[in-house]
């Protein structure tokens, strides 16, 4: 069943300084694990074709489709605060771009075999982490958070050695570009400044054209624009309780997308210093440090762009707005969660007081917001039940209700509806992923599909999905997610 696809290759056309062209390494006996019909539609891939052997083979890396031009890109980066030197796509292979609804979309296989940048790795990805990346990409998108997407996951009985022997899988990821801060660091730190400029021009021309028209240095304008997008992204992470887990500069998208899902976690209990990555012993990427780490990473990007600027001050000025933008974006998001339409004096205090209460009683983050949404025109009791310090909560709730009702034209039903569209009922908690993964390891992918379906509609109250919206079981806190993937 052939399918005429119009592959284009803007990144490939940058030339061999930026990547190595190579073929993926086949995996034995592939099978489908999951697919996103929404992403398939965006790429113009019909449902029937997505069921074909040809698609299964192509998205496992076993056979290339006409027009694909597979490559692995080179980048460097700072890992856990230290310069790590050259990294690169050690197991990701870009196939090319297909036209999407608002411009070309890159299609990339993750786990499709060795590349010149694999270093000590095997070029593979295991089933469990591939399912997590697939589900989380689609979950984040449905939450309205900028992210790479996932078209599909295929599995294979091919063995992969991690702490134990596991089986291989391939995720097909989709984004307008997978260029990272680390790509810029690579060409800057290795003194390849002509290539650095080529890359920056590429990103400006295709993704940030306004930077060319902006007064002053276009590369400083790019840094400022990337900072603004990153601020918005991180504010959204904080507001939904998302911990990325490995915010190394090579995992930071130049488009401000959430990328490289590894040991991520959605908070269960609200513990601000929560560390989701078992390998992050120092807590560098703890939930409450993410906004500052994003700034640190932007600073590293700024440093990498210095050879393109006239003076160091331009980079510092470009980074400055982040310090106000991030908290402002976060306050806007928190106000949305609280049902408050405009940010006013005192809202920061009201939010901070709430966060202290949530932290003091380690209240379940998502359940709190969902119950609070229902309480606008209903009963506060289910929210109150979540707290040990009930009087303290009552005092806060009185402040919140007064603030709600002080809004001109306040309408409880409309506010409740808005909050229910803002505070998700279902997020990809670790234990939900874990249940789906355990079933998948037995060859049953129905729970992956059920969870995917719920995550695609995270704000809807769907019957039969109550278990996905419930408190985590006791064993959830024992799950250890590390960098091993
Ligand atoms: P990460 O922090 O997981 O995004 O990966 C950091 C670097 O290690 C990137 O250059 C990856 O491509 C590379 N890497 C991670 N796992 C593997 C693997 N199994 N095989 C080859 N390279 C890998
Ligand atoms: Mg990475």
Q: What is the pLDDT of residues 14-52, one digit of tens each?
A: 999 999 999 999 999 999 999 999 999 999 999 999 999
Q: Indicate if ligand 1 lies below 6 Å from the C-beta of 260.
A: yes
Q: How far apart are the first and last CA of the chain?
A: 34
Q: How many other CB atoms are there within 10 angstroms of residue 406's CB atom?
A: 10
Tell me if residue 410 falls in helix, strand or coil: coil
- C-alpha pair distances (Å), 399 with each of 350, 381, 402, 414: 8, 16, 5, 20
Continuous H helices in 146-217 = 181-189, 193-207, 210-213
pLDDT at 5: 85
* Tokens 């694909």 belong to residue: 68
Does residue 250 carry a catalytic annotation?
yes
Q: pLDDT (tens digit, 0 to 9) for every residue of the chain, 485 residues total?
A: 666 689 999 999 999 999 999 999 999 999 999 999 999 999 999 999 999 999 999 999 999 999 999 999 999 999 999 999 999 999 999 999 999 999 999 999 999 999 999 999 999 999 999 999 999 999 999 999 999 999 999 999 999 999 999 999 999 999 999 999 999 999 999 999 999 999 999 999 999 999 999 999 999 999 999 999 999 999 999 999 999 999 999 999 999 999 999 999 999 999 999 999 999 999 999 999 999 999 999 999 999 999 999 999 999 999 999 999 999 999 999 999 999 999 999 999 999 999 999 999 999 999 999 999 999 988 999 999 999 999 999 999 999 999 999 999 999 999 999 999 999 999 999 999 999 999 999 999 999 999 999 999 999 999 999 999 999 999 999 998 888 99
How far away, in angstroms, is 19 Cα from ligand 1 center? 16
How far away, in angstroms, is 249 Cα from ligand 2 center? 9
pLDDT at 483: 85
Nearest CA to ligand 1 atom 12: 90
- In this prediction the pTM is 0.98
Q: Closest ligand to 116 CA?
A: 1
pLDDT one-digit tens code per residue, 436-477 = 999 999 999 999 999 999 999 999 999 999 999 999 999 999
Contacts of 381 (CB under 8 A, 6+ apart): none
Paired with 18 in beta bridges are none
- C-alpha pair distances (Å), 102 with each of 43, 98, 233, 279, 364: 11, 11, 20, 38, 37
* Tokens 């993750």 belong to residue: 110
Q: Indicate if ligand 1 lies below 6 Å from the C-beta of 347.
A: no
As to burial, measured by CB atoms within 10 angstroms (0-12 exposed, 13-18 middle, 19+ buried), residue 468 is: buried
Q: How many other CB atoms are there within 10 angstroms of residue 347's CB atom?
A: 17
Question: Residue 3 has which token pair?
Answer: 């399918």
Tell me if residue 95 falls in helix, strand or coil: strand
As to burial, measured by CB atoms within 10 angstroms (0-12 exposed, 13-18 middle, 19+ buried), residue 459 is: middle
Q: Closest ligand to 75 CA?
A: 1
């Amino acid at each position: 069943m052939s399918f005429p696809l119009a592959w284009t290759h803007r990144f490939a056309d940058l030339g061999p300084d930026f990547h190595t062209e190579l073929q993926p390494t086949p995996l034995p006996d592939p099978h489908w694990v999951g697919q996103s019909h929404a992403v398939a539609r965006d790429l113009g891939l019909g449902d029937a074709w997505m069921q074909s052997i040809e698609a299964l083979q192509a998205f496992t890396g076993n056979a290339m489709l006409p027009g694909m031009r597979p490559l692995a890109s080179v980048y460097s980066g700072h890992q856990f605060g230290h310069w790590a030197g050259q990294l690169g796509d050690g197991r990701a292979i870009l196939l090319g771009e297909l036209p999407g609804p608002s411009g070309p979309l890159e299609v990339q296989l993750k786990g499709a075999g060795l590349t010149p940048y694999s270093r000590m790795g095997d070029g593979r990805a295991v089933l469990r982490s591939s399912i997590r990346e697939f589900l989380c990409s689609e979950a984040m998108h449905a939450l309205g958070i900028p992210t790479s997407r996932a078209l599909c996951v295929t599995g294979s009985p091919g063995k992969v050695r991690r702490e134990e022997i596991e089986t291989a899988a391939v995720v097909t990821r989709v984004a307008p570009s997978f260029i990272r801060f680390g790509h810029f660091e690579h060409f800057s730190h290795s003194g390849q400044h002509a290539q650095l400029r080529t890359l920056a021009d590429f990103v400006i021309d295709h993704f940030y054209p306004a930077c060319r028209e902006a007064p002053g240095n276009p590369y400083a304008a790019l840094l400022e624009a990337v900072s603004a997008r990153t601020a918005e992204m991180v504010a959204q992470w904080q507001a939904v309780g998302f911990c990325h887990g490995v915010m190394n500069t090579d995992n930071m998208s130049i488009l401000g997308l959430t990328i490289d899902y590894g040991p991520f976690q959605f908070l269960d209990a609200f513990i601000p210093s929560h560390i989701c990555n078992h390998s992050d012993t120092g807590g560098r990427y703890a939930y409450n440090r993410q906004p500052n780490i994003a700034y640190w990473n932007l600073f590293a990007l700024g440093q990498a762009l210095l050879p393109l600027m006239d003076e160091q001050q331009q980079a510092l000025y470009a980074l400055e707005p982040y310090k106000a933008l991030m908290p402002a974006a976060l306050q806007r998001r928190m106000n949305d969660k609280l049902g408050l339409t405009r940010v006013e004096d005192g809202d920061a205090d009201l939010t901070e007081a709430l966060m202290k209460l949530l932290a003091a009683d380690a209240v379940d983050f998502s359940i709190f917001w969902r119950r609070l949404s229902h309480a606008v025109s209903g009963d506060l009791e289910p929210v109150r039940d979540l707290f040990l310090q009930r009087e303290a909560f009552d005092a806060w709730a009185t402040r919140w209700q007064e603030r709600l009702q002080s809004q001109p034209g306040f309408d409880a039903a409309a506010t409740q509806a808005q909050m229910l569209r803002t505070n998700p009922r279902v997020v990809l908690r670790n234990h939900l992923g874990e249940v789906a993964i355990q079933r998948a390891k037995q060859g049953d992918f129905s729970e992956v599909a059920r969870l995917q379906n719920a995550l695609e509609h995270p704000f809807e109250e769907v019957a039969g999905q109550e278990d996905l919206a419930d408190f985590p079981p006791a064993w959830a806190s024992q799950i250890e997610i590390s960098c091993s993937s």
